[in-house]
Chain A
């Protein structure tokens, strides 16, 4: 199997697995218990907190453990919103390419009296900071821009946005789920106030993540109950998962440069070779892009059928077609960068990891053109394009 859906989830690192094991049946204490086994669990928990904080240059008491990226995203946004409501300020700025965990939370807030500005992105999939600046109002309480996009891998101008927000005294939250472990992040240098991360995107376990909240930034709990996480997130800590996440992040951080160097070569080769297929186009900036991400549209075919045929060849990938999302509309990210519906349906996303090999890349380069050609032969859309009855868009 050639696994190229690492933006979806990643294989857990062997070392991570080994580190986690003892927390299931040896050091299985509840970190809130008074006895020795509980206190040892508490120690491990706090060590993990300090380790995670160090990687992003935060303080340990600024790290909160959650069940993953979605929960962290929800808690961050809803906290700032609640604070805003108390101060009668109700404007939020975000982008059209955010993950649904952010977008659906924003929609929920809109139904509760908040005004949300969804910034467009440029054709290259990157936010224009001048447009962001112009969108700021007197009652803006939050700027929420993802660090790197999960579909097209584009990296947003986080440093500039951080500076703008600091100058205007507006909370800056970034969904860094696709960036943590893949890009160097210093929350102080970048003036980030809140940040979300998810372990299973960097070879850690699923079901665990973290939320960075700069001291002084308001945080309200989503889940009520015990006093865990300084009363900000009830629930017995998933210590095995947390330790796993910490180990995974330390490894990813250490190997980052080496992995990125390797993947950039693979990425650029994939882009070069696959865009040789006629009437295809790369989605998102070719350079301001995660090293592991390739996303290409092929005119005249549909994504799910492409994925099924790739799967038959042992290649796991993903797509932005409507069929793969279960809705009538294809990927909102592809639409936001200006791809027409029919073209957005024919997208292929390949996301690599440190485990990807050169042979695997070569196999993909060999198989994709054959499958695209096969599907085009049976496509009435391609037929019309070739006959000139429909105009080529790409």
Chain B
């Protein structure tokens, strides 16, 4: 199957679709030229995401990741919500096909864009480097998203290889120890 059951569920029954008329922050990322646009509205109360809604123009993954992202940040303190990673969204959805990972990156950036908008509107300072404003040129944004998706895939592959290398090293060490013991014994 192209998509997991969880993805299909969030696609068929997306949570938190709609708009918030008096939103405290609105973030829009992506570009119609690329075929994916996500818009996220947040309502902030006591520094927490009191309410969140989204609208998305895009494929099954785009709609599912938007839906999941809103579920993951609802009720959370802003500082926590803004730390949402695309990996977390993908894991929560039981995975996405590799060529669809960039949609999850867009979801992460939509959250950041909404929070950035909230900070801007309320004159709250923040580290500008950490926020993708969602106004990058289409190709740059997608390349950025693809790069990140690649990194995510490589990271988990590297983790596997590091584990294997460590295991092999330990095994070799142990073998050397036992061989040394044997030699000693022989002596």
Which residues of A are at the interface with B, using a C-beta cutoff of 8 A? Answer: 300-305, 308-309, 312, 321-324, 326, 328, 330, 340-342, 345, 377-383
Name which of B11, B39, B59 has the most chain A CB atoms within 10 A of its CB. Answer: B59
The digit string for B10-25, where 1 denotes a CB below 8 A from any CB of A, is 0110100111000000
In this assembly, does B126 line the interface, its C-beta being within 8 Å of a C-beta of chain A? no
Q: Which residues of A contact B36 (CB under 8 A)?
A: 302, 323
18 new A-B contacts at CB < 8 Å, known A323-B61, A383-B19:
A300-B57, A302-B35, A302-B57, A305-B58, A305-B63, A312-B12, A323-B59, A323-B60, A328-B35, A328-B139, A328-B142, A345-B35, A377-B17, A378-B18, A378-B55, A379-B57, A380-B39, A381-B57
Q: How far is the CB of B64 from chain A (nearest CB, A)?
A: 10
- CB pair B28–A380 under 8 Å, yes or no, is yes
A328–B141 alpha-carbon span in the complex (Å): 12
Q: How far is the CB of A380 from chain B (nearest CB, A)?
A: 4
- CB pair A379–B56 under 8 Å, yes or no, is yes
Q: How far is the CB of B140 from chain A (nearest CB, A)?
A: 12
- CB pair A321–B59 under 8 Å, yes or no, is yes
- CB pair B59–A378 under 8 Å, yes or no, is no
- CB pair A323–B58 under 8 Å, yes or no, is yes
Chain B residues within 8 Å of chain A by Cβ, number? 28
A377–B18 alpha-carbon span in the complex (Å): 8
Q: How far is the CB of B187 from chain A (nearest CB, A)?
A: 64
- CB pair A380–B37 under 8 Å, yes or no, is yes
- CB pair B55–A305 under 8 Å, yes or no, is no
- CB pair B57–A341 under 8 Å, yes or no, is no
- For B66, the closest partner residue in chain A by CB is A378
A147–B34 alpha-carbon span in the complex (Å): 31
A308 CB contact (under 8 Å) in B11, B28, B55: B11
- For A341, the closest partner residue in chain B by CB is B33
In this assembly, does B107 line the interface, its C-beta being within 8 Å of a C-beta of chain A? no
B59 CB contact (under 8 Å) in A302, A312, A342, A383: A302
- For A319, the closest partner residue in chain B by CB is B59
A328–B140 alpha-carbon span in the complex (Å): 12
Q: Which residues of A contact B63 (CB under 8 A)?
A: 305, 378
Q: Which residues of A contact B8 (CB under 8 A)?
A: 308
25 A-B residue contacts at CB 8 Å?
Answer: A302-B36, A302-B57, A302-B59, A303-B59, A305-B59, A305-B62, A305-B63, A308-B60, A309-B12, A312-B12, A323-B58, A323-B62, A328-B34, A341-B35, A342-B33, A342-B35, A345-B35, A378-B14, A378-B18, A379-B56, A380-B28, A380-B37, A380-B39, A380-B55, A383-B39
Q: Which residues of B contact A383 (CB under 8 A)?
A: 19, 39, 55
- For A381, the closest partner residue in chain B by CB is B57
Q: Which residues of B contact A345 (CB under 8 A)?
A: 32, 35
Q: Which residues of A contact B28 (CB under 8 A)?
A: 380
Name which of A312, A322, A330, A381 has the most chain B CB atoms within 10 A of its CB. Answer: A381
